[in-house]
A and B are shown apart, each in its own frame.
Chain A
Amino acid sequence: MRIDCKHVWEHISSYIDGDVDASLRAEIDRHLETCEICSAVLDSTRNVVVLMADDRVFELPTGFSERLHARLDQELELDDLPRT
């Protein structure tokens, strides 16, 4: 039995992560060969996932690291670390 579009969408995230079993993957691949809508949905979702992982999307505020380590330096100076 051929799977329908809705069924493909249910598995899109796992498909992108390579987390579907071989027989389901084969079913989805077969569907994608002929369904331009699901192909576009898959490509756009994967594209969004790839773009989000780029370091330029979520950059730390300017000076964040310097301020954090300066505060840590104060703590390190004050502290006598508990020994275990």
Chain B
Amino acid sequence: MTFERPELEMECIQRILAGEKHLFHGLIQPCEHSIYFLLLSMLHNEAEAEDAAQETAIKVYRNLHLFRGESKFRTWVLSIARNEGLGRLRKAGSLREDSLEAMAEDQEGDFTPAILTSWREIPSETLEKKELAHLLREAIQALPEIYRNVVLLRDIEEMDGRETAAALGISEAAVKVRLHRARLMLQRELAGKLKGFAPRRGLFRWGA
């Protein structure tokens, strides 16, 4: 079940609050992927991210009566997930200071892409090769966290800039800057490695 229409989502929430508790499974299901990978991005540990994802779902359920529909449901859910992740980092004493993030925002940095003279497209069918997906995951995991969270929500979860900004508690302008830098870092990291996955000319064709 997905909720393309917010009014259906609100109706579902009303019914859950009125006692049809079992509907909560269908309400949270479309958010599972985003919750887990945001927490994995923050916590770097699969078991901990899974536990935090379960806690998040329970907190969403317990606080459902507080959701007013001012943002998208998923945005609200992800801000709860983010708080769960921050709480765990704080407890472990490994929370980075906000000032560090602000510094990273200001620094000029070198965001030059990998210079290529030609590019043969890697078709998505190639993802059936496990090592390609692995390379992509590794490159994303290696990004600094402030970039990783943005690229995760914008490019992997395919949320829009506004939704991403609200879920991460940053401005839309910061989302744009971080996404731009993250994409160039990924291009620089991956372009050379991905070239080997390009189909050799003349072997087969895809698309038209």
Contacts and interface: CB of A to CB of B under 8 A. Distances in A.
Interface of A: 9-10, 12-14, 16, 19, 36-37, 39-41, 43-45, 47-54, 56-58, 60-61, 64-65, 67-69, 71-72, 75-76, 79, 81-84
Interface of B: 16-17, 19, 21-22, 24-25, 28-29, 32-33, 36-37, 46, 50, 53-54, 57-58, 61-62, 64-65, 111-119, 121-122, 124, 127-128, 132-133, 136-137, 140, 151, 155-156, 158, 176, 179-180, 183-184, 186-187, 190-191, 194
A52 B185 CA distance: 14
In this complex, the member of A37, A45, A79 whose beta carbon has the largest number of chain B beta carbons within 10 angstroms is A45
Given A72-B54, A72-B57, 18 more contacts: A12-B113, A14-B180, A48-B183, A49-B155, A56-B127, A56-B128, A56-B133, A57-B127, A58-B33, A61-B50, A64-B50, A65-B29, A65-B32, A76-B21, A76-B22, A76-B61, A81-B16, A82-B62
Contacts, number: 139
A84 B116 contact: no
Given A37-B115, A58-B33, A72-B28, A47 B156 contact: no
A83 B17 CA distance: 6
A82 B62 CA distance: 8
B140 A52 contact: yes
B115 A45 contact: no
Nearest to B180: A13
Given A61-B50, A67-B54, A82-B65, A41 B32 contact: no
Contacts of A67: 50, 54
Nearest to A9: B113
Contacts of B113: 9, 12, 41, 44-45
B156 A53 contact: yes
